């Protein structure tokens, strides 16, 4: 990847990430009977949890990871033929159109059309088909897991329609995205002055749910409700689930969309793959009627997923994107 001058990338203070006295990340074993109440609590308290015994085959994960690494190991001039992301394709350092940068390169792919793959066929040749097949198979597996989790969450919240959330991902028009992030080792990692270089700046994911898997290199951090950051220990055989902004709205704030970020690593390369499960563009995102208690008002103005995406696209990563759609409490 092209090495730009470092000052362009934000540096983070380590001061508030002390590991002592921090709560552990919720762990949900999907093979245990009835994890519903644990899932609900994790979404309320953290908006984030780790899942084991998820049923996604390890060989599939390994195969896709090695194809992705093969892509990222190509010369920059070759990779950039698959870019810039418009919005799909290869991207390097720049995240979104509003000046955010990070110490990473990435691939952004749609999950329901093949239109973006022509960008890869000239680079990958025949291997482009193999890559596409692996991506499709992987997406199908993580989407199935995401839907099962969303159905357990709906049951845990006692929503009549257990598919109230999952049907948005299963819809043919579901606007979901698949992203592979590669964080190369960062030269002259500024460890000595106690500051970290940002890999991916703090943000919340706008969709309903994100399913993340990374190799065994750490870097991901989540923000607790009190603003402290906690490092998420890497675990290549598990998945990490984020509550997205849309799920926060659909639960009228019961579930928290988790703020997270990635810090760069001095010596090792990190690879993460994230499936972002989103609703159809025309879907109105609003609290589910069956969740609203007597007299409970929606905390949010009504908007469609298209409107929210358009608004998010105009914002910086760290902006409180949902803030624009919150109702101001009448005084």
Q: Which residues bind Ni ion (CB under 5 A)?
A: 205
Min CB(74)–ligand OGA separation in Å: 20
* CA-to-CA separations, 331 to 154, 184, 274, 327, 328, in angstroms, rounded: 33, 50, 41, 12, 9
Q: Minimum distance between the CB of residue 203 and ligand OGA, rounded to whole angstroms?
A: 7
Whether the Cβ atoms of residue 229 and residue 154 lie closer than 8 Å to each other = no
* Of the candidate residues 42, 132, 272, 279, the single one contacting ligand OGA (CB under 6 A): 272
Q: Is 262 in the site for ligand OGA (CB under 6 A)?
A: yes
Kindly tell me which of 64 and 262 has the beta carbon lying closer to ligand OGA.
262
Site for ligand OGA in 220-239 (CB under 6 A): 220
116 near ligand OGA, judged by CB under 6 A: no
Binding letters toward ligand OGA, positions 183-202, x by CB under 6 A: -----------------x--
Whether 158 is a known active-site residue: answer no
Nearer to Ni ion, 93 or 162 (CB): 93
By CB under 6 A, what part of segment 4-43 binds ligand OGA? Answer: none
Output the residue with the shortest Cβ distance to Ni ion: 205
- Give which of Ni ion, ligand OGA, none residue 223 binds (C-beta under 5 to 8 Å, depending on kind): none
In a 13 Å sphere around the CA of 151, the CA atoms on its Cβ side amount to 14
Strand order in the sheet with 195-203: 11-13, 195-203, 260-263, 220-223, 229-231
Q: What is the β-pairing status of strands 89-95 and 100-110?
A: antiparallel
From the candidates 132, 213, 261, 270, which is the catalytic residue?
270
Say whether residue 214 binds ligand OGA (CB under 6 A). yes
CB contact set of 263 (below 8 Å; sequence gap of 6+): 12, 196, 197, 198, 199, 219, 221
Q: Cα dihedral sign for 277, 115, 94, 319?
A: negative
Element (H, E) at 230: strand 229-231
Query: Are 169 and 208 spatial neighbours (Cβ–Cβ below 8 Å)?
Result: yes
Q: Which residues bind ligand OGA (CB under 6 A)?
A: 179, 181, 200, 205, 212, 214, 220, 260, 262, 272, 274
Residues with a known catalytic role = 270
């Amino acid at each position: 990847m092209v090495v730009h001058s470092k000052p362009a990338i934000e540096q983070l203070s380590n001061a508030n990430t002390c590991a002592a006295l921090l709560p552990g990340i919720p762990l949900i074993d999907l093979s245990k009977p009835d994890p519903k109440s644990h899932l609900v609590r994790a979404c309320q308290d953290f908006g984030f949890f780790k899942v084991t015994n998820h049923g996604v085959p390890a060989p599939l994960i390994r195969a896709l990871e090695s194809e992705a690494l093969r892509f990222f190991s190509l010369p920059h001039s070759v990779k950039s033929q698959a870019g810039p992301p418009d919005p799909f394709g290869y991207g390097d350092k720049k995240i979104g159109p509003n000046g955010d940068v990070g110490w990473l390169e990435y691939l952004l792919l749609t999950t329901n059309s093949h239109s973006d793959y022509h960008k890869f066929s000239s680079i990958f040749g025949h291997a482009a088909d193999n890559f596409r097949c692996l991506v499709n198979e992987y997406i199908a597996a993580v989407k199935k897991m995401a839907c099962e989790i969303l159905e357990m969450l709906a049951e845990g919240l006692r929503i009549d329609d257990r598919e109230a959330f999952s049907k948005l991902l299963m819809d043919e028009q579901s606007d979901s995205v698949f992203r592979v992030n590669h964080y190369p080792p960062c030269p002259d990692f500024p460890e000595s002055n106690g500051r970290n270089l940002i890999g991916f700046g703090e943000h919340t994911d706008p969709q309903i749910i994100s399913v993340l898997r990374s190799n065994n290199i750490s870097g991901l951090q989540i923000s607790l409700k009190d603003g402290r950051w906690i490092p998420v220990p890497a675990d290549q055989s598990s998945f990490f689930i984020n509550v997205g902004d849309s799920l926060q709205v659909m639960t009228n704030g019961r579930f928290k969309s988790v703020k997270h970020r990635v810090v760069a690593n001095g010596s090792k390369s990190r690879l993460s793959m994230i499936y972002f499960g989103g609703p159809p563009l025309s879907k109105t995102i609003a609290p589910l009627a069956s969740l609203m208690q007597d007299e409970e008002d929606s905390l949010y103005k009504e908007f469609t997923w298209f409107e929210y995406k358009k608004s998010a696209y105009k914002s910086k990563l760290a902006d409180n994107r949902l803030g624009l759609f919150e109702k101001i409490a009448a005084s």
